[in-house]
Each structure stands twice: as C-alpha cells, then as structure tokens.
Amino acid sequence: MATEINNEKKLADTLLYKKKSAFERFDAEERSAAMAYAEGYKDYLDNAKTEREAVKKSIAILEENGYVPYDFGENVAVGGKYYYNNRGKSLYAFRVGSEPIIEGVRILAAHIDSPRLDLKQNPLYEDSGMGYFKTHYYGGIRKYQWITVPLALHGTVILADGSSAYVNIGEEPGDPVFCVTDLLPHLGKEQNNKTLATAFNGENLSILIASSPLVENGEVTEEDDKVKLCVMKYLNDKYGMTEEDFISAELCAVPAGKCVDVGLDRWMIGAYGHDDTVCAYPALTALLESDGSPHTVMCILADKEETGSDGATGMQSGLLCDMIETIASAMGEKGAAVRAKSMCLSADVAAGFDPLYSDVFDKKNVAFMNFGVAMAKYTGSGGKYSTNDADAEFVGFIRKIFAEKNVLWQTAELGKVDAGGGGTVAKYIANLNITTVDMGVPVLSMHAPFEVISKADLYSAHTAFKAFCL
C-alpha cells in the first residue's frame, strides 16, 4: 500500500527523511521552556559530581515530591511513590501505576558515575618538598585532558572507629584546588615524538596537594616526611583522619567549579559530568511528572557504568531483577512475567557530531547538536559486537509515541563502523528479558573535564522520557 501523497506538500517532504533542528521546530514557548529547564539541570549537576552526591541530591528531590523509602518485601499501593537507596551509590525510584503490574514497567535507566581520577588506597607521598596523591583513573579518559586542570576532592572516608566523613574541597569560593602538572614546552622535545597513547603515563597522574612542611610553634618540624605531616595535620584537624584511613576511603578528584553557559547565545552548557547527568536529570524529572500515567514507571540511577557496570551498585548486579520481583510479588505476580512485558530507555549520552573531527563520524548516522535527543538502536563495536540491538518493532513503537507527542529526536550511531566503539547499560537490562533501546543527549568532548551539550537536546530528552512514561 502506497503512502497517501498530500498534494499541498512537495513529494520530497513526504517521502524523504529530513532532520530539523530545534530552532526550526521549537516555537517561542518551547524555546523559553528549554532555557528554563536548563537552569534546574545546572543546579542538579553542580550538586551531583559523584554518584554519592547524585543519590543524595536525587533523594532530596524525590522526597520533596512525595516519594518514600522502600525496602524488599514491603507492600506497594497503586499511586504509591517509592525509592530504594542502594548503598548510597545507586538509586531505584518508582511510581506504581493504575494498570495491572503484569503489563510491565516503563524503565528509564541512566548512570550517575563519570570519569575522574580516584585516589589510590595508599595515596600520599612527598617528593622534593611537595606533597602528592597517587591516583588510578576511573573510566575511559584521554589522560592529557586531565593535566593542568583545577581539581576538587570529593568523597567519603570511613574512619577507624567506623564513622564516616564527607570530603568536599575545592568547590566553595575561597577553597584551594589541586592539579596534575605538565611538562613545559621548552623541554618537551623528546615527549613530542611519542604517540598520544604513550606520552602520558597513568602512574604519573599524581595530584599536587601541598608544598610546605609542617610548621609547629613557628619552627619546621624535625620529623621526617615533613610535607606529608603537613597534609595529614590538615586532614586530621578537618576530618579526624589518619593516613591509614585512606585505605577505607573513596576519594575522587573531579574538575573544580560550577557549570557554565557556552556561546554568546547561551544555548549550550559546559561542565564536568554531562555523561551521564544530562540523561539522569531528565529521567528523574520525567518520573516526577508521570503522576497521571497508568503505567508503573521506574527511574534507575546506576553506578559503575564507566567501568563496565560490575559490582553491587552497577547494572550487572541482580538488583533490577530482584526489585521487579519484589514489586511484582507485592502485587501478586511473578517478576519474570513482569520483566517480559517491561520496556526500558537506556538513557545515556551520544557522541555529538564535531566538525573539527568530522572524519571519524558517518554524517548520515551521527547525532547533531540541537537536533534533539538521539536514539541508538545499537552501540558496541567491530560488527555490532557486545551490544543490545533493539528490535525494529520497539523502535517503531517509540517512533510512533514521539511523533504523537511532538518530540524532537534523531537516530544516531557513535561513529564510523571501524573507528572504535562503546557501550551502555542497555545490554545488561536487555539481558534480563526487558525490551531496551538507547536514548540520550549528544555531547561534544565526551569524557573530557569540560563536556558540552545543547539545552535544546537536554529539553528534548526530558520531553522524550516523559512521553515514554505517560
């Protein structure tokens, strides 16, 4: 059966796929709604640089909106709003819809961990009168990008008595910051001949933390390890820490400072951690705005995506399976049957087309900035290896919802077929027999200390996730 041709339109408008940007599609109301929505995101982002901070901030927002803590085995009620805090590092929030749970759950799954420099468990040393923290980078970074960037320290220390201290240095006005130093160009002759992969060494990403010895009563201490003592005296005064406490700490160095608008027109945001807070926030707000929906809606904010989703707080743990089981059994059903009918948007960022590096992208199949939220049917690498590949039926279902709800979206593949690759949590969720597709905001400079996104795409992610939930 042929498509009905509307004589008012040109044939090409009916038959050919043409993308339109937000600036062609949005009316004045949508443009100001996108700008206003971005301000809420910026506040969230500045308070969610690590997974622990994102969980804390998200719980505060959920509680303001009537969500209450949930534990395994507890009853759930239609219309009830719950959250499960998994070890302070990942979060499952859900609202029970009016339709039978056997119809499945609509899941939005984003991650709240981002690439950074983690301190090693025995990090502190001094050399040539300066104090350093040794690091082991977390996630896929281009090492050179993290050198000569002001860094802040965030994290949690479990002290010897079992109590915990929350560390945050470098974010408040007047706070000191830290950095990894670099070679001066005048002496870079030999390094200049190395490849990017060999010129920067992970073991060398040590953070400059202090540059003075401990001074007691006006005198430099006579003890050895003078600079280390200076550092530990400070940390002990402020947090009650001894050096051994680093062993039971999770301390991360992340780029210091708040997010900022980018561009004279202010349509972009530059920040650390857009991947994947730029999808986590729209997922959370879509859940909050799903109150009238008949569906049971769940928002997952996962940890450990950047390192392969392993561990109890990553998406490869059994928690999602268990969570659906406990909700299903509270409503007299089996988890397996509920999973079989559930659907998930794996809310993770896409690579935005960068004209400065155009040769790694396929221009017909890449996400462009300001053209809306990007759907990736598959990710993976080297011949669709190691990926969920959403079925055409599900992609068609989503397409139809987005057309009905006027969502600005585009299709996207990471880059050229043999250029590289990457993955998301999609495959781990799909492996639980949950229909899943990747959907997220295009990002420039992904995994750099300063990533860039478009406010129009951020807003489109919110409208897309909301359309899926309703």
Binding mask 264-283 for Mn ion (x = CB under 5 A): -----------xx-------
The whole-angstrom separation of Cα 104 and Cα 117 is 39
Nearest residue to Mn ion, by Cβ distance, number only: 276
CB of 248 vs Mn ion, minimal distance in Å: 27
- Cβ closest to Mn ion, residue 101 vs residue 448: 448
CB of 276 vs Mn ion, minimal distance in Å: 4
- Interacting positions 15-44 with Mn ion (CB under 5 A): none
CB of 411 vs Mn ion, minimal distance in Å: 18
- Chain centroid to Cα 160, Å, comes to 32
The whole-angstrom separation of Cα 46 and Cα 40 is 10
> How far apart, in Å, are the Cα atoms of 74 and each of 70, 332, 355?
7, 13, 53
List residues bridging with 105 in a β-sheet.
296
Contact 261, 269 (CB under 8 A): yes
Is residue 325 part of the contact set for Mn ion (CB under 5 A)? no
CB of 110 vs Mn ion, minimal distance in Å: 8
| Angle separating helix axes 274-288 and 28-46, nearest 10 degrees | 110
Q: Which stretch binds Mn ion (CB under 5 A): 144-152, 265-273, 329-337, 347-355?
A: 347-355
- Cβ closest to Mn ion, residue 293 vs residue 379: 379
Size of site (CB under 5 A) for Mn ion? 3
- Cβ closest to Mn ion, residue 63 vs residue 310: 310
Q: Which stretch binds Mn ion (CB under 5 A): 47-55, 338-346, 348-356, 405-413?
A: 348-356
CB atoms closer than 10 angstroms to residue 415: 20
CB atoms closer than 10 angstroms to residue 54: 30
The whole-angstrom separation of Cα 427 and Cα 438 is 10
CB of 87 vs Mn ion, minimal distance in Å: 20
Helix (H) or strand (E) holding 68: strand 68-69
The whole-angstrom separation of Cα 379 and Cα 348 is 11
The whole-angstrom separation of Cα 187 and Cα 242 is 38
- Cβ closest to Mn ion, residue 46 vs residue 276: 276
CB of 425 vs Mn ion, minimal distance in Å: 8
Name residues whose C-beta falls within 8 Å of residue 12's C-beta, 6 or more positions apart in sequence: 18
- Cβ closest to Mn ion, residue 153 vs residue 446: 446
CB of 119 vs Mn ion, minimal distance in Å: 21
Q: Which member of 51, 113, 303, 348 binds Mn ion (CB under 5 A)?
A: 348
The whole-angstrom separation of Cα 139 and Cα 114 is 7
- Cβ closest to Mn ion, residue 273 vs residue 335: 273
- Cβ closest to Mn ion, residue 113 vs residue 325: 113
- Cβ closest to Mn ion, residue 348 vs residue 413: 348
CB of 348 vs Mn ion, minimal distance in Å: 4
CB atoms closer than 10 angstroms to residue 55: 23
Contact residues toward Mn ion (CB under 5 A) are 275-276, 348
